[in-house]
Amino acid sequence: MTHKATEVTIVAEKVIQEQIVEIIERAGATGYTILEGSGKGQHARRTHERPSVAGDAFDIVKIEAILGDRAAAEQVADEVANTLFTHYSGIVYLEEVEILRRARFWR
């Protein structure tokens, strides 16, 4: 039997990884996953200190967390967008998933 939950995914430059993780933890997530990769285009461009050429490739992190509470996932997305993406480029998106073992995703 599965339960609905919300996955929040943030793709950003590695430089703001710790700040993203702090936001996720404050929202009550009991865990998160960090994958390292590369990326190109607007969503991986740091904008405030070195205005890079569009299309530069960057080392990026993809950080994922699943929250049983939809509002908590939206809080993460809003806070990342409103506090970090004002100075750094990146993307944040939500997906509905079905989890097993619901209790693991609650504080």
Q: Which residues bind a copy of itself (CB under 8 A)?
A: 2, 5, 7, 11, 21, 29-44, 60, 62, 66, 74, 77-78, 81, 85, 89, 91-101, 104-105
- For a copy of itself, the closer of residues 49 and 98 by Cβ is 98
Angle of CA points 54, 56, 60, to nearest 5°: 120
Q: How far is the CB of 26 from a copy of itself (least distance, A)?
A: 13
Q: How far is the CB of 104 from a copy of itself (least distance, A)?
A: 6
List, in order, residues 6 or more apart from 97 with CB less than 8 Å away.
Answer: 4, 5, 6, 7, 66
Q: How far is the CB of 90 from a copy of itself (least distance, A)?
A: 9
Angle of CA points 98, 104, 107, to nearest 5°: 115
